[in-house]
Structure 1
Amino acid sequence: MSATTVRATDPFDFVLSPTCQVSAPPSDWASPTNDARRPFEHISFTVPDNMSGRPAVSVNCGYTGDGLPIGLQIAGQRFDDPGVLRLAAAFEVIRGRGRRPQV
């Protein structure tokens, strides 16, 4: 997984993706699917970067209709932690930090 991720992302300075492709589950569920046969579907965007040593950060990019935060993952080239943090800071400035919606 590590070699495949590095090879697939090598042409790009940064890769933007959802941090998680599903909304947060109820707090008493074991995972977003609440199905022991499918416990890890919610981490499919984060695991490749974690396994390949690519730095990544999650920043808030909005809210669901229920007022739950939506994360944008910014992943960079290996060892470019400063670049990832600069892009995350720039995204927050451009987007504006905003306020959590009233629900």
Structure 2
Amino acid sequence: MRLRRLAFNARYLNRGLRKLGFITYGNDDSPVVPLLLFHPGKMAVFSRMMRTRATPIVVVVVAAAHTKEDVDEVLRACDEIGDLLDLKQASGERWPVEEIIKRAVELVRMPEMP
């Protein structure tokens, strides 16, 4: 029952936002619904206004101002913690994190991965 409710709510939120005129991204069934705002100056205001409603709604605002080095650091951290917690469950070819970082352009240009 909980999984059905989660699936319904995810699809309902995603499609409801689109019908309101927003642009969302990602899979309709994902419980994470990226809402594209396009106005960096309004992102913090949107987050603050959502949080200060009678029933606070917490949103995560992500601005695309990261450098490749920032992403490299996130990959290194995920690699280390993923090993410690045994979180790497996907099948398929694996590359060491430094290989991924070295071959970033090649990786980005590869055809879609399964």
Same fold (TM over 0.5): no
Bigger relative contact order, structure 1 or 2 (CA pairs below 8 A, ≥6 apart) = 1
Rg larger in structure: 2
How high is the TM-score relative to the length of structure 1? 0.27
How high is the TM-score relative to the length of structure 2? 0.25
